[in-house]
Structure 1
Amino acid sequence: MTDTQTDSDVDVFEEAGSNELGSADPDWVGLPRCDLLSIEEADELLRWLPATLVAVVGERKSGKTTLITEIYERFLRGPFAGQMFCYSQTLLGFERKSYPSRAESRLERPDTARTSTRDGLRFFHLGLVSSSNRRRADLLITERAGEVYRDARDRPAESRTLLELLKARTVVFVLDGERIANDKTRAEAFASIRGMIRAFADAGAISGRAEIQLVTTKFDLLSAAVAAEAVGHLKEFEDRLVKAYSGRFAKVTHWRTAARDPKGQLEPAWGVTPVLRSWIDPPGSPPGASSTIPKLDDEFDRLLLRRGRLA
């Protein structure tokens, strides 16, 4: 047998669960996939794991993926935000997105691998355990190109096809702090996010039980005294957003983060701790929600109710 024939007999990159690989040698053990999850794979995970879905929405290059991968990077150093890392089905996906930010990439400045529109909707998975009470929490965090959300903003009727918006418990709208710091792009950045939220909310693409979050990224560019005017405009925008939508969704919050400061003046994942905690903790009941019991016509239903009261 030649070397060429030997190399072609076994494909070490064969997907887990391949019948061909299993029938070739019963001693082979298929490894689980570890790239980003497709919609079908995320749905399969949700069938046996009560994970929380977080939809991260924003313009291209706003810092969506950097926010997510920097959370992963912090867990590589140890516990973070009162949580310990315990498991992930997307370790390779995290690593691929994080690699350009590391010194071994030999890039002059840290970067993040961009998301293409051809990738469609994919998911990061993060399994965590509380450092205090050992309670398990699993997160499914969306990964989709910003161009898709921009196009849906301009055609609101199509936003209902973005299933992650309707099914998410938390919808995070990412505001690019770099554009806020620039006088020439600030108004456009505010208008873009305001338009997205209004379009998706009016089209009914977001559940009323969801928490709406505005997360301003790259806040390190707004921390200097010269950016005081820009921060003032940002605060006005945050206040107007809370006032406009606090009655329509379970909760409306805003956060300021600097996931990665190239100058090193702020610690990695600055401001991300409360954001991650909010993804883990439930947002509470939606406005107007009630737990009224429907009319019970069946004697077995009334018996169950009486037993519940006695308990």
Structure 2
Amino acid sequence: MADTEIVCANRECRIAQSGKCIEGHDDLSICPFYGRVPEEIDDEQDDDDQDAVDAFDGVHLPDALPLDRGGTDKIIAKLPARMIGVIGGHDAGKTSVIAGLYDLFQLGPVSNNIFAGSSTLHGFESICHDARAASERNEPHSERTKRGEVRFYHIDVRRNDALQSLLIADRSGEEYEEVADLAANATDMFELRRADVITILVDGRRLASPSDRADVMGSIPLIIMGMVENGAFLRKPSLAIVLTKDDAVQASTRKERVEQDFRAIAKGVQDEFADHFGEFGSFVTCASPADTNVVRGAGLDKLLDFWMKPTAQPKATRIHHRNGRVFDGLAIKETSDG
């Protein structure tokens, strides 16, 4: 006699393999899912879900996903805020840098910065999941940012007893790369015009590749030039040049050449675009190493300090307007009434 097939309408249940009901029922006859196929309860579940929504009388909490442009305006209205534009080509490590910084805050203060809250916690958790052991992946992975949208990750930071917001922009790397071909593609990148710090990512793994090296070194100045020509940096922000994936660089036989190339990129950008940016800084990071023996998030603490550093205000020149009248040439003379 053949064994009776065990079925369950709950797709998460593994009773056929483990013999245990995921709902915790010892008596399977009272389980509403056991013995039924999923299709049988789909309509009933939809009705039950709708009834639950109609009967809900509690408080709906925010979804805590990455913010759109309107969401960032609300954050800026509440606290002093630093907006960070992160520019990197496809797979340069942009999402890993953002996720790695959030993971560092899980361990405590990052340098002199104390985590004080976030309105995008679910968004952070989503991009961090695939780099954690819980994802059961063989190596860290980061979800690609969708084209055609810019998202912002938000962290409130207490620094030197002052509370401040940090807004980190995340846009598809392909869109930034397209600026090198057509400067007008930077027109709608409002996050760059409002940024306090522009962060340029240099892919360490590609820089260590003989076939990709020339493309990496040539594309970065072109991307910045395209944005400058389109007036993307109106506020004269600070500029951070960041080498990512340092674990791949250290494991490469071309390690010294890569480090030399990175210094050349940083110096070339600083020399060529000095008039368009405020303070310059260069950093080496390893946000999400594939090797478990390498410290996750290395270098991000120094980068965060640079992000949070107040931007020097541009010096203004007072212009004295004269219309040719004699009175405009008069000056106030101090006298003593003795």
- Name which of structure 1's ranges 169-178 and 200-209 shifts more when overlaid on structure 2: 200-209
Specify which of 227, 238, 243 is matched with residue 271 of structure 2: 243
Q: CA deviation at 1:141?
A: 0.5
Specify which of 108, 128, 133 is matched with residue 157 of structure 2: 128
Q: How does 1:197-236 map to 2 (within 5 A)?
A: 197-224=224-251, 226=253, 227-236=255-264
Whether 2:295 is the aligned partner of 1:253: answer: no
CA contact (8 A) 1:207 1:249 kept: no
- Name which of structure 1's ranges 190-199 and 241-250 shifts more when overlaid on structure 2: 241-250
1:88 corresponds to: 118
Q: CA deviation at 1:102?
A: 0.8
1:160–1:138 distance in 2 versus 1, CA, 3 Å: same
- Name which of structure 1's ranges 175-184 and 27-36 shifts more when overlaid on structure 2: 27-36
- In 1, the alpha carbon distance for the partners of 2:118 and 2:319 equals 39
Please, which runs of 5 or more residues in structure 1 have no aligned partner? Answer: 12-20, 296-311
CA contact (8 A) 1:153 1:159 kept: no
- In 1, the alpha carbon distance for the partners of 2:117 and 2:162 equals 13
The secondary structure found in structure 1 opposite 2:207 is: helix
Query: 1:72-118: CA deviations, max 9, x gaps?
Result: 00111111122111100000000010100111111111111111115
- Name which of structure 1's ranges 235-244 and 219-228 shifts more when overlaid on structure 2: 219-228
1:103–1:224 distance in 2 versus 1, CA, 3 Å: closer
1:290 corresponds to: 316
CA contact (8 A) 1:160 1:166 kept: no
- In 2, the alpha carbon distance for the partners of 1:9 and 1:137 equals 42
CA contact (8 A) 2:206 2:216 kept: yes
CA contact (8 A) 1:54 1:171 kept: yes
One-letter amino acid of the structure 1 residue matched with residue 146 of structure 2: S
Query: 1:181-237: CA deviations, max 9, x gaps?
Result: 111111101111111011111221112421122111011222358311221122122
What RMSD, in angstroms, separates the aligned Cα atoms of the two structures?
2.1
Give aligned pairs, total: 277
1:146 corresponds to: 173
TM-score, normalised with respect to structure 1: 0.83
One-letter amino acid of the structure 1 residue matched with residue 154 of structure 2: H
2:203 corresponds to: 176
1:221–1:28 distance in 2 versus 1, CA, 3 Å: same
Q: How does 1:155-166 map to 2 (within 5 A)?
A: 155-166=182-193
Q: How does 1:95-106 map to 2 (within 5 A)?
A: 95-106=125-136
**Higher relative helix content:** 1
Specify which of 38, 44, 49 is matched with residue 7 of structure 1: 49
One-letter amino acid of the structure 2 residue matched with residue 250 of structure 1: G
- Name which of structure 1's ranges 162-171 and 148-157 shifts more when overlaid on structure 2: 148-157
Identity %: 27
The secondary structure found in structure 1 opposite 2:140 is: coil
2:39 corresponds to: none
Whether 2:213 is the aligned partner of 1:186: answer: yes
Q: CA deviation at 1:47?
A: 2.4
- In 2, the alpha carbon distance for the partners of 1:6 and 1:294 equals 73
Instruction: Report the structure number with the largest CA radius of gyration.
Output: 2
Q: CA deviation at 1:246?
A: 2.1
